[in-house]
């Protein structure tokens, strides 16, 4: 008889999470009640934002509670159902969490449309990742053709899409990524106009050289010194979009803020934060557009898919912070 493997939060990490922060268990299968269905997890999404959910402080979502199954975006297949709209065999995207089976009543569940893309893409370019890039860049960055758009974390899940959306929008696109191989990839495989290695001590100079007329849109996934360098190179009326700050999520002390923020004044610029969840009513339209660009070959959406078990969650999650994944990082659960 099947058991449900779960990964629950055992204690709150201080700094970088360690294996002891999680409790892995084999639990009885959930029982499907009327109006419910059971989803077998096939993909688990790994996202930098998940680190923030582990801290006990007010944020845009409540923190994951101690003892709760770790929150995560998932794709899976309906294997039992007492819900007329989600029959057995339906492929769905939801926030199923880090467990092999998840019970659902259909709320917050999206049916995967195979005509739009493979199931895994519903966690990547057609999922929260791609939607984050789409609404963050287009609504907050407001790029105009000819603008210089710089994105940090350019080889990451969101960054790869942001750069390509900027190019579709007629912008000059500069990626900031870690290491020569990622820099090569974003230029040669994703069509960025230029890439800068943030590990290069001359990063700030190179950014100035690559954007001699200044940065019109800066899309930040990393925070820290990279954000500060970008602030020093803003064009007039620039838009800085704060999407994330992966460089500091595991810090165990207060991280200094961007000391160059007064550039906002000198350059009459704007720095804004956003959350993709605010655009839920527009997801379907955005997803169709993203799928269209993928189908036309105008967006390439790299994925790093690790095959494994639910219990491999911690190891795969930590890859986000070691900088060795490219594009969307997924854990594929072997059935």
Footprint of a second copy on this chain (CB under 8 A)? 58-60, 223, 228, 242-245, 254-275, 278
Nearer to a second copy, 65 or 257 (CB): 257
What is the CA angle 230-52-68, rounded to 5? 165
The pair of structure tokens assigned to 232 is: 């020093």
CB 21 within 8 A of CB 70: no
Nearer to a second copy, 186 or 227 (CB): 227
Nearer to a second copy, 67 or 273 (CB): 273
Smallest separation (angstroms) from a second copy to the CB of 290? 22
Smallest separation (angstroms) from a second copy to the CB of 248? 8
DSSP state of 101: E
Residues in CB range of 171: below 8 A, 6 or more apart: 143, 144, 145, 146, 147, 148, 149, 216, 217
Smallest separation (angstroms) from a second copy to the CB of 266? 5
Exposure b/e, 55-73, CB count within 10 A at least 16 = b:
eeeeeeeebbeeeebbbbb
Rounded CA separation 242/127 (Å) = 19
Smallest separation (angstroms) from a second copy to the CB of 29? 36
Q: What is the C-alpha radius of gyration for the chain, rounded to an integer number of angstroms?
A: 20
Matching residue, tokens 């803020």:
257
Smallest separation (angstroms) from a second copy to the CB of 238? 10
Residues in CB range of 284: below 8 A, 6 or more apart: none
Rounded CA separation 250/268 (Å) = 32
Rounded CA separation 69/197 (Å) = 37
Nearer to a second copy, 18 or 266 (CB): 266
Smallest separation (angstroms) from a second copy to the CB of 205? 15
Count of other CB atoms within 10 angstroms of residue 27: 14
Smallest separation (angstroms) from a second copy to the CB of 223? 8
Rounded CA separation 44/311 (Å) = 11
Smallest separation (angstroms) from a second copy to the CB of 190? 25
Nearer to a second copy, 86 or 249 (CB): 249
CB 190 within 8 A of CB 151: no
CB 217 within 8 A of CB 162: no
Nearer to a second copy, 164 or 263 (CB): 263
Q: Helix, strand or coil for residue 53?
A: coil
Nearer to a second copy, 24 or 53 (CB): 53
Nearer to a second copy, 70 or 269 (CB): 269
């Amino acid at each position: 008889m099947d058991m449900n493997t779960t990964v629950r939060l055992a204690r709150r990490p201080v700094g970088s999470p360690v294996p002891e922060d999680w409790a892995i268990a084999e639990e009885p299968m959930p029982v499907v009640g009327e109006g419910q269905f059971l989803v077998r997890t096939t993909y688990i999404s790994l996202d930098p934002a998940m680190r923030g959910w582990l801290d006990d402080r007010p944020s845009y979502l409540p923190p994951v509670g101690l003892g709760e199954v770790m929150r995560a975006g998932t794709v899976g297949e309906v294997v039992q159902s007492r819900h007329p709209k989600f029959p057995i065999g339906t492929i769905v995207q939801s926030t199923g969490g880090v467990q092999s089976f998840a019970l659902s009543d259909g709320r917050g569940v999206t049916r995967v449309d195979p005509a739009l893309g493979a199931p895994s893409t519903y966690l990547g370019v057609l999922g929260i990742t791609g939607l984050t890039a789409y609404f963050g860049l287009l609504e907050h960055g407001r790029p105009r053709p000819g603008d210089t758009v710089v994105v940090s974390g350019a080889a990451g899940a969101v960054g790869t899409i942001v750069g390509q959306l900027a190019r579709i929008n007629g912008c000059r696109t500069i990626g900031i990524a870690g290491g020569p191989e990622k820099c090569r990839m974003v230029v040669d495989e994703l069509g960025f106009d230029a890439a800068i290695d943030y590990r290069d001590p001359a990063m700030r100079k190179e950014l100035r050289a690559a954007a001699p007329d200044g940065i019109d849109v800066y899309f930040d996934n990393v925070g820290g010194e990279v954000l500060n360098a970008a602030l020093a190179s803003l064009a007039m009326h620039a838009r800085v979009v704060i999407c994330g700050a992966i460089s500091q999520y595991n810090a165990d002390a207060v991280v200094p803020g961007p000391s160059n923020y007064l550039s906002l004044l000198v350059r009459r610029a704007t720095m804004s934060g956003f959350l993709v969840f605010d655009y839920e009513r527009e997801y379907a339209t955005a997803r169709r557009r993203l799928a269209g660009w993928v189908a036309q070959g105008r967006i390439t959406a790299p994925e790093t898919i690790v095959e494994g078990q639910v219990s491999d969650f911690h190891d795969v999650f930590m890859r986000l912070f070691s900088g060795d994944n490219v594009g969307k990082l997924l854990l594929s659960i072997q059935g």
